[in-house]
Protein backbone atom coordinates (compact mmCIF):
# COMPACT_ATOMS: atom_id res chain seq x y z
CA UNK A 1 0.00 0.00 0.00
CA UNK A 2 1.24 3.48 -0.77
CA UNK A 3 -0.02 6.52 1.04
CA UNK A 4 0.27 9.77 -0.87
CA UNK A 5 0.09 13.15 0.84
CA UNK A 6 -2.34 15.63 -0.72
CA UNK A 7 -4.08 18.94 -0.05
CA UNK A 8 -7.76 19.78 -0.61
CA UNK A 9 -9.18 21.25 -3.82
CA UNK A 10 -11.96 23.83 -3.69
CA UNK A 11 -15.36 23.09 -5.14
CA UNK A 12 -15.49 19.29 -5.10
CA UNK A 13 -19.20 19.48 -4.36
CA UNK A 14 -21.35 16.85 -6.11
CA UNK A 15 -24.28 18.47 -7.95
CA UNK A 16 -27.57 17.08 -9.25
CA UNK A 17 -25.76 13.93 -10.33
CA UNK A 18 -22.20 13.47 -9.11
CA UNK A 19 -19.15 15.72 -9.48
CA UNK A 20 -18.82 17.22 -12.96
CA UNK A 21 -15.96 19.40 -14.09
CA UNK A 22 -14.05 20.24 -17.24
CA UNK A 23 -11.83 17.27 -18.15
CA UNK A 24 -8.56 19.19 -17.61
CA UNK A 25 -9.72 19.99 -14.06
CA UNK A 26 -10.22 16.29 -13.38
CA UNK A 27 -6.85 15.46 -14.97
CA UNK A 28 -4.85 17.67 -12.60
CA UNK A 29 -2.59 15.64 -10.31
CA UNK A 30 -4.51 14.41 -7.24
CA UNK A 31 -7.89 15.88 -8.27
CA UNK A 32 -9.60 12.57 -9.08
CA UNK A 33 -7.65 10.82 -6.32
CA UNK A 34 -8.85 13.30 -3.68
CA UNK A 35 -12.48 12.93 -4.69
CA UNK A 36 -12.35 9.14 -4.80
CA UNK A 37 -10.60 8.87 -1.42
CA UNK A 38 -13.14 11.33 0.06
CA UNK A 39 -15.92 9.14 -1.33
CA UNK A 40 -14.43 5.97 0.14
CA UNK A 41 -13.94 7.73 3.49
CA UNK A 42 -17.51 9.06 3.46
CA UNK A 43 -18.97 5.55 3.11
CA UNK A 44 -16.90 4.24 6.05
CA UNK A 45 -14.16 2.88 3.82
CA UNK A 46 -14.27 0.06 1.29
CA UNK A 47 -12.27 -2.59 3.17
CA UNK A 48 -13.63 -6.04 2.36
CA UNK A 49 -16.32 -4.55 0.09
CA UNK A 50 -17.59 -5.46 -3.37
CA UNK A 51 -17.79 -2.54 -5.81
CA UNK A 52 -18.95 -2.02 -9.40
CA UNK A 53 -17.07 0.29 -11.76
CA UNK A 54 -17.79 1.49 -15.27
CA UNK A 55 -18.57 4.49 -17.39
CA UNK A 56 -19.77 5.85 -20.68
CA UNK A 57 -16.49 5.51 -22.58
CA UNK A 58 -15.74 9.20 -22.64
CA UNK A 59 -12.25 10.73 -22.76
CA UNK A 60 -10.20 10.05 -19.59
CA UNK A 61 -12.61 7.28 -18.48
CA UNK A 62 -10.18 4.41 -19.08
CA UNK A 63 -7.34 6.23 -17.23
CA UNK A 64 -9.66 7.16 -14.35
CA UNK A 65 -10.79 3.53 -14.05
CA UNK A 66 -7.17 2.41 -13.57
CA UNK A 67 -6.64 5.00 -10.82
CA UNK A 68 -9.84 3.98 -9.05
CA UNK A 69 -8.99 0.27 -9.22
CA UNK A 70 -5.55 0.88 -7.69
CA UNK A 71 -7.14 3.06 -5.00
CA UNK A 72 -9.84 0.48 -4.24
CA UNK A 73 -7.12 -2.16 -3.86
CA UNK A 74 -5.04 0.05 -1.57
CA UNK A 75 -8.15 0.80 0.49
CA UNK A 76 -8.70 -2.92 1.00
CA UNK A 77 -11.68 -3.62 -1.29
CA UNK A 78 -12.27 -7.34 -1.80
CA UNK A 79 -13.46 -7.26 -5.40
CA UNK A 80 -14.36 -4.78 -8.13
CA UNK A 81 -16.63 -5.80 -11.00
CA UNK A 82 -15.73 -3.63 -13.98
CA UNK A 83 -17.31 -3.49 -17.42
CA UNK A 84 -15.03 -4.56 -20.28
CA UNK A 85 -13.08 -1.53 -21.51
CA UNK A 86 -14.38 0.29 -18.40
CA UNK A 87 -17.79 0.53 -20.09
CA UNK A 88 -21.11 0.32 -18.30
CA UNK A 89 -24.19 2.41 -19.02
CA UNK A 90 -25.60 4.05 -15.90
CA UNK A 91 -28.68 1.77 -15.75
CA UNK A 92 -26.50 -1.29 -16.44
CA UNK A 93 -24.22 -0.27 -13.55
CA UNK A 94 -27.27 0.09 -11.32
CA UNK A 95 -28.45 -3.38 -12.37
CA UNK A 96 -24.99 -4.87 -11.79
CA UNK A 97 -24.83 -3.44 -8.25
CA UNK A 98 -28.24 -4.95 -7.47
CA UNK A 99 -27.75 -8.32 -9.17
CA UNK A 100 -24.35 -8.92 -7.62
CA UNK A 101 -25.35 -7.47 -4.24
CA UNK A 102 -22.43 -5.07 -4.36
CA UNK A 103 -21.84 -2.54 -1.60
CA UNK A 104 -21.78 0.32 -4.09
CA UNK A 105 -20.40 1.50 -7.39
CA UNK A 106 -18.61 4.29 -9.19
CA UNK A 107 -19.86 5.59 -12.52
CA UNK A 108 -17.48 7.58 -14.70
CA UNK A 109 -19.58 9.97 -16.76
CA UNK A 110 -20.72 13.54 -17.20
CA UNK A 111 -23.86 12.11 -18.76
CA UNK A 112 -25.46 14.49 -21.28
CA UNK A 113 -22.50 16.88 -21.19
CA UNK A 114 -20.09 16.69 -24.16
CA UNK A 115 -16.86 14.70 -23.72
CA UNK A 116 -13.27 15.19 -24.84
CA UNK A 117 -9.99 16.76 -23.68
CA UNK A 118 -11.62 20.19 -23.38
CA UNK A 119 -15.15 19.08 -22.50
CA UNK A 120 -16.59 17.44 -19.40
CA UNK A 121 -15.85 14.53 -17.11
CA UNK A 122 -17.69 13.28 -14.04
CA UNK A 123 -17.65 10.79 -11.17
CA UNK A 124 -20.70 9.55 -9.31
CA UNK A 125 -21.07 7.17 -6.37
CA UNK A 126 -24.04 4.79 -6.17
CA UNK A 127 -25.24 2.96 -3.08
CA UNK A 128 -25.97 -0.72 -2.46
CA UNK A 129 -29.55 -0.24 -3.73
CA UNK A 130 -28.06 0.69 -7.12
CA UNK A 131 -29.14 4.31 -6.88
CA UNK A 132 -27.24 7.61 -6.71
CA UNK A 133 -25.94 8.54 -3.27
CA UNK A 134 -28.51 10.59 -1.36
CA UNK A 135 -27.75 14.14 -0.25
CA UNK A 136 -26.55 13.09 3.21
CA UNK A 137 -23.80 11.03 1.56
CA UNK A 138 -22.85 13.59 -1.11
CA UNK A 139 -22.60 16.20 1.65
CA UNK A 140 -20.34 13.91 3.66
CA UNK A 141 -18.15 13.40 0.57
CA UNK A 142 -17.91 17.16 0.04
CA UNK A 143 -17.06 17.73 3.70
CA UNK A 144 -14.30 15.13 3.47
CA UNK A 145 -12.79 16.74 0.33
CA UNK A 146 -12.16 19.85 2.43
CA UNK A 147 -10.07 18.08 5.09
CA UNK A 148 -8.30 15.39 3.10
CA UNK A 149 -4.57 15.05 3.74
CA UNK A 150 -3.72 11.75 2.03
CA UNK A 151 -5.01 9.08 -0.31
CA UNK A 152 -4.13 5.44 -0.74
CA UNK A 153 -3.13 3.94 -4.05
CA UNK A 154 -1.17 0.84 -5.08
CA UNK A 155 1.94 1.62 -7.04
CA UNK A 156 1.54 -1.00 -9.77
CA UNK A 157 1.19 -1.15 -13.54
CA UNK A 158 -2.20 -0.71 -15.25
CA UNK A 159 -4.23 -3.86 -15.75
CA UNK A 160 -5.80 -5.06 -18.97
CA UNK A 161 -9.52 -4.28 -19.00
CA UNK A 162 -10.04 -5.45 -22.57
CA UNK A 163 -10.37 -9.15 -21.72
CA UNK A 164 -13.15 -10.83 -19.75
CA UNK A 165 -12.10 -12.68 -16.62
CA UNK A 166 -10.42 -12.17 -13.27
CA UNK A 167 -7.14 -10.40 -12.52
CA UNK A 168 -5.50 -9.72 -9.15
CA UNK A 169 -4.51 -6.27 -8.06
CA UNK A 170 -2.65 -6.83 -4.79
CA UNK A 171 -5.10 -8.78 -2.66
CA UNK A 172 -8.13 -7.47 -4.55
CA UNK A 173 -9.84 -9.29 -7.43
CA UNK A 174 -10.77 -7.32 -10.53
CA UNK A 175 -13.54 -9.08 -12.44
CA UNK A 176 -13.93 -7.83 -16.00
CA UNK A 177 -17.48 -8.52 -17.24
CA UNK A 178 -19.44 -8.10 -20.46
CA UNK A 179 -21.20 -4.75 -19.95
CA UNK A 180 -24.25 -5.69 -22.03
CA UNK A 181 -25.46 -9.25 -21.43
CA UNK A 182 -26.84 -9.01 -17.87
CA UNK A 183 -28.69 -5.84 -18.81
CA UNK A 184 -30.11 -7.33 -22.01
CA UNK A 185 -31.25 -10.40 -20.07
CA UNK A 186 -33.10 -8.18 -17.61
CA UNK A 187 -34.89 -6.44 -20.49
CA UNK A 188 -35.95 -9.84 -21.78
CA UNK A 189 -37.58 -10.54 -18.39
CA UNK A 190 -39.54 -7.26 -18.34
CA UNK A 191 -40.78 -7.00 -21.93
CA UNK A 192 -42.73 -9.19 -24.34
CA UNK A 193 -39.81 -9.95 -26.67
CA UNK A 194 -41.97 -12.25 -28.81
CA UNK A 195 -44.46 -9.47 -29.52
CA UNK A 196 -41.58 -7.12 -30.32
CA UNK A 197 -39.97 -9.65 -32.67
CA UNK A 198 -43.33 -10.04 -34.43
CA UNK A 199 -43.62 -6.25 -34.71
CA UNK A 200 -40.27 -5.95 -36.50
CA UNK A 201 -41.00 -9.08 -38.58
CA UNK A 202 -44.19 -7.39 -39.83
CA UNK A 203 -42.08 -4.53 -41.23
CA UNK A 204 -42.09 -1.99 -38.38
CA UNK A 205 -39.21 0.41 -38.97
CA UNK A 206 -37.26 2.16 -36.29
CA UNK A 207 -34.30 4.52 -35.96
CA UNK A 208 -32.29 4.62 -32.75
CA UNK A 209 -29.62 7.30 -32.46
CA UNK A 210 -27.06 6.33 -29.82
CA UNK A 211 -25.16 9.58 -30.44
CA UNK A 212 -21.72 7.87 -30.36
CA UNK A 213 -22.30 7.20 -26.68
CA UNK A 214 -22.72 4.16 -24.47
CA UNK A 215 -26.10 2.73 -25.55
CA UNK A 216 -24.75 1.68 -28.98
CA UNK A 217 -23.66 -1.81 -27.90
CA UNK A 218 -26.81 -2.27 -25.80
CA UNK A 219 -29.19 -1.14 -28.54
CA UNK A 220 -27.49 -3.22 -31.23
CA UNK A 221 -27.63 -6.34 -29.04
CA UNK A 222 -31.26 -5.85 -27.97
CA UNK A 223 -32.91 -4.25 -31.00
CA UNK A 224 -30.97 -5.75 -33.88
CA UNK A 225 -29.74 -9.11 -32.50
CA UNK A 226 -32.43 -10.18 -30.05
CA UNK A 227 -35.47 -8.45 -31.58
CA UNK A 228 -34.62 -8.66 -35.27
CA UNK A 229 -34.80 -4.96 -36.16
CA UNK A 230 -33.09 -4.31 -39.48
CA UNK A 231 -29.27 -4.05 -39.34
CA UNK A 232 -28.41 -0.35 -39.25
CA UNK A 233 -31.48 0.52 -37.15
CA UNK A 234 -29.05 1.86 -34.54
CA UNK A 235 -26.95 4.77 -35.79
CA UNK A 236 -23.86 6.33 -34.18
CA UNK A 237 -23.64 2.96 -32.48
CA UNK A 238 -19.95 2.94 -31.56
CA UNK A 239 -19.09 4.78 -28.32
CA UNK A 240 -16.29 7.30 -28.96
CA UNK A 241 -14.21 9.22 -26.38
CA UNK A 242 -15.45 12.56 -27.74
CA UNK A 243 -18.85 11.23 -28.89
CA UNK A 244 -17.71 12.00 -32.43
CA UNK A 245 -18.09 15.68 -31.59
CA UNK A 246 -21.81 15.15 -30.90
CA UNK A 247 -23.47 16.65 -27.85
CA UNK A 248 -24.97 13.44 -26.46
CA UNK A 249 -28.12 15.03 -25.10
CA UNK A 250 -31.24 13.48 -26.65
CA UNK A 251 -33.44 16.50 -27.27
CA UNK A 252 -34.69 18.12 -30.48
CA UNK A 253 -31.80 20.60 -30.49
CA UNK A 254 -28.92 18.16 -30.11
CA UNK A 255 -30.49 15.09 -31.76
CA UNK A 256 -31.33 17.16 -34.83
CA UNK A 257 -30.26 14.44 -37.24
CA UNK A 258 -32.89 12.07 -35.86
CA UNK A 259 -35.48 14.85 -35.71
CA UNK A 260 -34.85 15.68 -39.37
CA UNK A 261 -35.36 12.08 -40.38
CA UNK A 262 -38.51 11.62 -38.26
CA UNK A 263 -40.11 14.78 -39.64
CA UNK A 264 -39.20 13.88 -43.24
CA UNK A 265 -41.12 12.08 -45.96
CA UNK A 266 -39.19 8.80 -45.52
CA UNK A 267 -39.58 8.71 -41.74
CA UNK A 268 -39.64 5.29 -40.10
CA UNK A 269 -42.45 4.36 -37.70
CA UNK A 270 -40.56 5.15 -34.54
CA UNK A 271 -37.48 7.09 -33.49
CA UNK A 272 -35.49 7.29 -30.28
CA UNK A 273 -32.23 8.65 -28.93
CA UNK A 274 -30.29 8.38 -25.69
CA UNK A 275 -27.58 10.34 -23.86
CA UNK A 276 -23.90 9.92 -22.98
CA UNK A 277 -24.37 7.40 -20.18
CA UNK A 278 -27.60 5.84 -21.45
CA UNK A 279 -30.04 6.95 -18.77
CA UNK A 280 -31.96 9.51 -20.86
CA UNK A 281 -34.27 8.93 -23.80
CA UNK A 282 -36.12 10.91 -26.43
CA UNK A 283 -39.20 9.44 -28.11
CA UNK A 284 -40.29 10.57 -31.58
CA UNK A 285 -43.02 9.23 -33.83
CA UNK A 286 -43.35 9.76 -37.56
CA UNK A 287 -43.95 13.52 -37.73
CA UNK A 288 -44.51 13.89 -33.99
CA UNK A 289 -42.19 14.67 -31.08
CA UNK A 290 -43.23 13.40 -27.64
CA UNK A 291 -42.32 15.64 -24.72
CA UNK A 292 -40.72 13.71 -21.84
CA UNK A 293 -43.53 14.72 -19.48
CA UNK A 294 -46.09 13.33 -21.92
CA UNK A 295 -44.00 10.20 -22.44
CA UNK A 296 -44.11 9.56 -18.69
CA UNK A 297 -47.90 9.98 -18.68
CA UNK A 298 -48.42 7.65 -21.66
CA UNK A 299 -46.20 5.02 -20.04
CA UNK A 300 -48.15 5.35 -16.77
CA UNK A 301 -51.46 4.92 -18.59
CA UNK A 302 -50.32 1.84 -20.52
CA UNK A 303 -47.76 0.13 -18.28
CA UNK A 304 -50.13 -2.72 -17.38
CA UNK A 305 -49.89 -3.92 -21.01
CA UNK A 306 -46.21 -4.73 -20.46
CA UNK A 307 -45.51 -8.12 -18.79
CA UNK A 308 -43.20 -6.65 -16.12
CA UNK A 309 -45.99 -4.32 -14.93
CA UNK A 310 -49.02 -6.53 -15.62
CA UNK A 311 -50.19 -6.18 -12.03
CA UNK A 312 -50.29 -2.39 -12.33
CA UNK A 313 -48.10 0.36 -10.90
CA UNK A 314 -47.64 0.82 -7.15
CA UNK A 315 -47.49 4.57 -7.60
CA UNK A 316 -45.69 7.16 -9.69
CA UNK A 317 -43.29 10.01 -8.98
CA UNK A 318 -42.10 12.97 -10.99
CA UNK A 319 -39.66 15.78 -10.35
CA UNK A 320 -41.33 19.08 -9.46
CA UNK A 321 -40.59 20.86 -12.77
CA UNK A 322 -42.02 17.91 -14.75
CA UNK A 323 -45.54 18.58 -16.04
CA UNK A 324 -48.61 17.35 -14.21
CA UNK A 325 -49.66 15.12 -17.14
CA UNK A 326 -48.77 12.00 -15.14
CA UNK A 327 -50.72 13.30 -12.11
CA UNK A 328 -53.90 13.10 -14.18
CA UNK A 329 -53.21 9.49 -15.09
CA UNK A 330 -52.45 8.61 -11.46
CA UNK A 331 -55.70 10.22 -10.33
CA UNK A 332 -57.68 8.33 -12.98
CA UNK A 333 -56.06 4.99 -12.11
CA UNK A 334 -56.26 5.64 -8.38
CA UNK A 335 -52.56 5.46 -7.46
CA UNK A 336 -50.34 7.87 -5.52
CA UNK A 337 -48.28 10.49 -7.32
CA UNK A 338 -45.24 12.04 -5.60
CA UNK A 339 -43.48 15.30 -6.47
CA UNK A 340 -39.73 15.37 -5.74
CA UNK A 341 -36.83 17.77 -6.35
CA UNK A 342 -34.85 17.49 -9.58
CA UNK A 343 -32.41 14.56 -9.73
CA UNK A 344 -32.89 10.80 -9.69
CA UNK A 345 -31.47 10.44 -6.18
CA UNK A 346 -34.77 11.65 -4.75
CA UNK A 347 -36.73 8.71 -6.22
CA UNK A 348 -34.64 6.01 -4.52
CA UNK A 349 -36.38 6.04 -1.12
CA UNK A 350 -39.84 5.94 -2.72
CA UNK A 351 -38.89 2.93 -4.85
CA UNK A 352 -37.10 1.13 -2.00
CA UNK A 353 -40.16 1.63 0.20
CA UNK A 354 -42.39 0.10 -2.48
CA UNK A 355 -44.41 3.29 -2.87
CA UNK A 356 -43.73 3.88 -6.58
CA UNK A 357 -42.74 1.76 -9.53
CA UNK A 358 -42.52 4.45 -12.24
CA UNK A 359 -40.58 7.73 -12.09
CA UNK A 360 -39.81 10.47 -14.55
CA UNK A 361 -38.30 13.87 -15.16
CA UNK A 362 -38.95 16.48 -17.82
CA UNK A 363 -35.28 16.25 -18.78
CA UNK A 364 -35.75 13.08 -20.86
CA UNK A 365 -35.45 10.74 -17.89
CA UNK A 366 -37.84 7.86 -17.35
CA UNK A 367 -37.39 4.70 -15.36
CA UNK A 368 -38.88 2.15 -13.03
CA UNK A 369 -38.00 0.10 -9.98
CA UNK A 370 -36.23 -2.53 -12.12
CA UNK A 371 -33.09 -0.50 -11.30
CA UNK A 372 -32.48 2.69 -9.30
CA UNK A 373 -31.45 4.95 -12.17
CA UNK A 374 -33.35 6.35 -15.08
CA UNK A 375 -33.04 4.07 -18.07
CA UNK A 376 -33.02 5.17 -21.70
CA UNK A 377 -33.16 1.80 -23.44
CA UNK A 378 -35.86 0.62 -21.00
CA UNK A 379 -38.04 3.64 -21.84
CA UNK A 380 -37.63 2.97 -25.56
CA UNK A 381 -38.60 -0.69 -25.09
CA UNK A 382 -41.57 0.43 -22.98
CA UNK A 383 -42.83 2.49 -25.91
CA UNK A 384 -42.21 -0.34 -28.37
CA UNK A 385 -44.08 -2.79 -26.16
CA UNK A 386 -47.01 -0.39 -25.77
CA UNK A 387 -47.10 0.23 -29.53
CA UNK A 388 -47.11 -3.54 -30.12
CA UNK A 389 -49.82 -4.18 -27.52
CA UNK A 390 -52.06 -1.33 -28.62
CA UNK A 391 -51.53 -1.80 -32.35
CA UNK A 392 -51.25 2.00 -32.68
CA UNK A 393 -48.56 4.41 -33.81
CA UNK A 394 -47.11 7.25 -31.72
CA UNK A 395 -49.36 9.97 -33.20
CA UNK A 396 -52.52 7.94 -32.56
CA UNK A 397 -51.42 7.10 -29.03
CA UNK A 398 -50.78 10.77 -28.26
CA UNK A 399 -54.10 11.95 -29.77
CA UNK A 400 -55.97 9.35 -27.77
CA UNK A 401 -54.09 10.23 -24.58
CA UNK A 402 -54.79 13.97 -24.87
CA UNK A 403 -58.44 13.35 -25.73
CA UNK A 404 -58.80 11.33 -22.55
CA UNK A 405 -56.71 13.33 -20.08
CA UNK A 406 -56.36 16.77 -21.66
CA UNK A 407 -52.98 18.18 -22.67
CA UNK A 408 -50.30 19.79 -20.52
CA UNK A 409 -48.49 22.03 -22.98
CA UNK A 410 -44.92 22.08 -21.82
CA UNK A 411 -41.53 23.51 -22.68
CA UNK A 412 -38.19 24.18 -21.01
CA UNK A 413 -36.10 27.20 -21.93
CA UNK A 414 -32.41 27.05 -21.00
CA UNK A 415 -30.05 30.02 -20.74
CA UNK A 416 -26.67 28.35 -20.59
CA UNK A 417 -23.37 29.62 -19.20
CA UNK A 418 -24.65 32.88 -17.72
CA UNK A 419 -22.28 34.80 -15.47
CA UNK A 420 -22.90 33.25 -12.04
CA UNK A 421 -23.30 36.64 -10.29
CA UNK A 422 -25.92 37.76 -12.83
CA UNK A 423 -27.95 34.57 -12.42
CA UNK A 424 -27.71 34.61 -8.62
CA UNK A 425 -28.65 38.28 -8.40
CA UNK A 426 -31.67 37.73 -10.64
CA UNK A 427 -32.97 34.83 -8.54
CA UNK A 428 -32.15 36.52 -5.22
CA UNK A 429 -34.19 39.46 -6.38
CA UNK A 430 -37.06 37.17 -7.35
CA UNK A 431 -36.85 35.45 -3.96
CA UNK A 432 -37.23 38.84 -2.30
CA UNK A 433 -40.38 39.65 -4.28
CA UNK A 434 -41.93 36.19 -4.28
CA UNK A 435 -44.44 36.95 -1.52
CA UNK A 436 -45.68 40.09 -3.25
CA UNK A 437 -46.73 38.45 -6.53
CA UNK A 438 -50.00 36.87 -5.39
CA UNK A 439 -53.10 38.45 -6.97
CA UNK A 440 -51.10 40.54 -9.44
CA UNK A 441 -51.79 40.31 -13.15
CA UNK A 442 -49.12 39.86 -15.81
CA UNK A 443 -50.03 39.62 -19.50
CA UNK A 444 -53.59 38.75 -18.52
CA UNK A 445 -52.47 35.98 -16.13
CA UNK A 446 -53.21 36.34 -12.41
CA UNK A 447 -50.71 34.86 -9.94
CA UNK A 448 -52.47 32.38 -7.68
CA UNK A 449 -49.46 31.43 -5.55
CA UNK A 450 -45.67 31.47 -5.58
CA UNK A 451 -43.05 29.76 -3.47
CA UNK A 452 -39.63 28.16 -3.35
CA UNK A 453 -39.95 24.38 -3.41
CA UNK A 454 -38.82 22.63 -0.24
CA UNK A 455 -39.09 18.83 -0.13
CA UNK A 456 -39.55 16.60 2.87
CA UNK A 457 -38.80 13.00 1.97
CA UNK A 458 -41.89 11.03 3.03
CA UNK A 459 -39.80 7.95 3.82
CA UNK A 460 -36.86 9.24 5.90
CA UNK A 461 -38.05 12.76 6.71
CA UNK A 462 -34.93 14.45 5.28
CA UNK A 463 -35.49 18.00 4.07
CA UNK A 464 -34.13 19.53 0.85
CA UNK A 465 -34.71 23.27 0.58
CA UNK A 466 -34.22 25.75 -2.32
CA UNK A 467 -35.30 23.34 -5.05
CA UNK A 468 -36.69 25.91 -7.48
CA UNK A 469 -39.11 28.84 -7.69
CA UNK A 470 -42.73 28.15 -8.60
CA UNK A 471 -45.18 30.73 -9.82
CA UNK A 472 -48.69 29.36 -10.34
CA UNK A 473 -51.27 31.29 -12.31
CA UNK A 474 -55.04 31.01 -12.03
CA UNK A 475 -56.33 28.36 -14.42
CA UNK A 476 -53.51 25.87 -13.87
CA UNK A 477 -50.64 27.46 -15.80
CA UNK A 478 -47.26 27.79 -14.13
CA UNK A 479 -43.62 28.67 -14.53
CA UNK A 480 -40.75 27.16 -12.56
CA UNK A 481 -37.23 28.58 -12.44
CA UNK A 482 -34.07 26.96 -11.09
CA UNK A 483 -30.34 26.84 -11.70
CA UNK A 484 -28.79 23.72 -13.15
CA UNK A 485 -26.65 21.54 -10.93
CA UNK A 486 -24.87 19.68 -13.73
CA UNK A 487 -23.26 22.49 -15.73
CA UNK A 488 -19.52 23.09 -15.66
CA UNK A 489 -19.45 26.68 -16.92
CA UNK A 490 -21.03 29.66 -15.18
CA UNK A 491 -24.69 29.23 -14.30
CA UNK A 492 -27.44 27.71 -16.42
CA UNK A 493 -30.95 29.02 -15.82
CA UNK A 494 -33.78 26.61 -16.56
CA UNK A 495 -37.26 28.01 -17.10
CA UNK A 496 -40.03 25.41 -17.13
CA UNK A 497 -43.34 26.47 -18.70
CA UNK A 498 -46.66 24.66 -18.47
CA UNK A 499 -50.28 25.24 -19.45
CA UNK A 500 -53.15 22.80 -19.17
CA UNK A 501 -55.79 22.50 -21.90
CA UNK A 502 -58.67 20.22 -20.84
CA UNK A 503 -59.92 19.72 -24.42
CA UNK A 504 -61.73 18.72 -26.51
CA UNK A 505 -60.87 22.00 -28.25
CA UNK A 506 -57.34 23.41 -28.38
CA UNK A 507 -55.37 20.18 -28.14
CA UNK A 508 -53.39 20.61 -31.36
CA UNK A 509 -51.50 23.85 -30.84
CA UNK A 510 -47.79 24.35 -31.28
CA UNK A 511 -46.35 24.36 -27.70
CA UNK A 512 -44.35 27.62 -28.00
CA UNK A 513 -47.50 29.39 -29.21
CA UNK A 514 -49.70 27.78 -26.59
CA UNK A 515 -47.21 28.94 -23.93
CA UNK A 516 -46.58 32.45 -25.33
CA UNK A 517 -48.61 34.29 -22.62
CA UNK A 518 -46.70 32.48 -19.85
CA UNK A 519 -43.37 33.20 -21.54
CA UNK A 520 -44.30 36.88 -21.72
CA UNK A 521 -45.55 36.95 -18.11
CA UNK A 522 -42.28 35.35 -16.94
CA UNK A 523 -40.29 38.01 -18.75
CA UNK A 524 -42.38 40.70 -17.10
CA UNK A 525 -41.94 39.19 -13.62
CA UNK A 526 -38.28 38.08 -13.78
CA UNK A 527 -36.77 40.23 -16.53
CA UNK A 528 -34.46 37.52 -17.86
CA UNK A 529 -33.68 39.29 -21.11
CA UNK A 530 -33.12 42.66 -19.51
CA UNK A 531 -30.88 41.26 -16.79
CA UNK A 532 -28.83 38.82 -18.86
CA UNK A 533 -28.71 40.70 -22.14
CA UNK A 534 -29.62 37.47 -23.91
CA UNK A 535 -32.20 37.76 -26.71
CA UNK A 536 -33.71 34.43 -25.71
CA UNK A 537 -32.94 30.92 -24.50
CA UNK A 538 -30.21 28.98 -26.32
CA UNK A 539 -31.85 25.58 -25.92
CA UNK A 540 -35.59 24.99 -26.11
CA UNK A 541 -36.98 21.54 -25.39
Measured distance CA(85)–CA(82) in Å, rounded? 8
Judged by CB under 6 A, the residue of 241, 393, 476, 485 near ligand VG1 is 485
Contact 111, 121 (CB under 8 A): no
**Close Cβ partners of 465 (under 8 Å, ≥ 6 residues apart):** 452, 454, 455
Q: Which of 89, 94, 111, 450 is catalytic?
A: 111
Segment near Co ion (CB under 5 A), from 99-107, 203-211, 278-286, 467-475?
278-286
Partner interacting with residue 274 (select from Co ion, ligand VG1, none; CB below 5-8 Å by kind): none
Partner interacting with residue 484 (select from Co ion, ligand VG1, none; CB below 5-8 Å by kind): ligand VG1
Q: What is the CA radius of gyration of the chain?
A: 23
Residue 76, class by beta-carbon neighbours within 10 Å (0-12 exposed, 13-18 middle, 19+ buried)?
middle
Segment near ligand VG1 (CB under 6 A), from 136-144, 308-316, 361-369, 523-531?
361-369
Task: Answer yes or no whether residue 484 interacts with ligand VG1 by CB under 6 A.
Answer: yes
Tell me how crowded residue 173 is: count the other CB atoms within 10 A of its CB: 16
Contacts by residues 519-527 (CB-CB < 8 Å, ≥ 24 positions apart): 519/413, 520/442, 520/443, 521/442, 521/443, 521/445, 521/473, 521/479, 522/471, 522/479, 522/481, 522/495, 522/497, 524/442, 524/443, 525/430, 525/437, 525/442, 525/471, 526/426, 526/430, 526/481, 527/426
Segment near ligand VG1 (CB under 6 A), from 69-77, 478-486, 513-521, 528-536?
478-486
Judged by CB under 6 A, the residue of 21, 58, 112, 152 near ligand VG1 is 112
Q: Name the minimum Å distance from CB 89 to Co ion.
A: 9
Segment near Co ion (CB under 5 A), from 65-73, 206-214, 273-281, 484-492?
273-281
Buried b (16+ CB within 10 A) or exposed e, 295-311: bbbbbbbbbebbebbee
Judged by CB under 5 A, the residue of 33, 277, 369, 373 near Co ion is 277
Task: Report residue 450: phi and psi, to 5°.
Answer: -150, 140
Active site residue 89: no
268 vs 487, beta carbon nearer ligand VG1: 487
Q: Name the minimum Å distance from CB 490 to ligand VG1.
A: 13
Task: Answer yes or no whether residue 17 interacts with ligand VG1 by CB under 6 A.
Answer: yes
103 vs 275, beta carbon nearer ligand VG1: 275
Task: Answer yes or no whether residue 56 interacts with Co ion by CB under 5 A.
Answer: no
**Which residues are designated catalytic?**
111
Q: Which residues bind Co ion (CB under 5 A)?
A: 111, 275, 277, 279-280
- Binding residues (CB under 6 A) for ligand VG1: these are 16-17, 111-112, 275, 279-280, 319, 342-344, 361, 363, 365, 484-486, 494
Amino acid sequence: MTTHPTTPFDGQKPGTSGLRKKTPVFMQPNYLENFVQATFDAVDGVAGKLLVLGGDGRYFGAEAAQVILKMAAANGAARVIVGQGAWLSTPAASNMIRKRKADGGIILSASHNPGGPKEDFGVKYNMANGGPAPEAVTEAIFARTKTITEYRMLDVADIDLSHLGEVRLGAMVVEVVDPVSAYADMMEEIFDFKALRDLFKAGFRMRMDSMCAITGPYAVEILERRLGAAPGTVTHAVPLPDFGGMHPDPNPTWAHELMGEMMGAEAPDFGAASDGDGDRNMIVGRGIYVSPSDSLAVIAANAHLVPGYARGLKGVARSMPTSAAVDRVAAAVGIDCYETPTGWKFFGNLMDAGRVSLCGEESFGTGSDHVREKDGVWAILMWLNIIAARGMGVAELMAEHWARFGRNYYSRHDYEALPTEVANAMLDDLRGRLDTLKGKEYQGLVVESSDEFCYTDPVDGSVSAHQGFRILFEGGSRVVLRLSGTGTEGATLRVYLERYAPGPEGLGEEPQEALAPIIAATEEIVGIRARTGRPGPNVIT
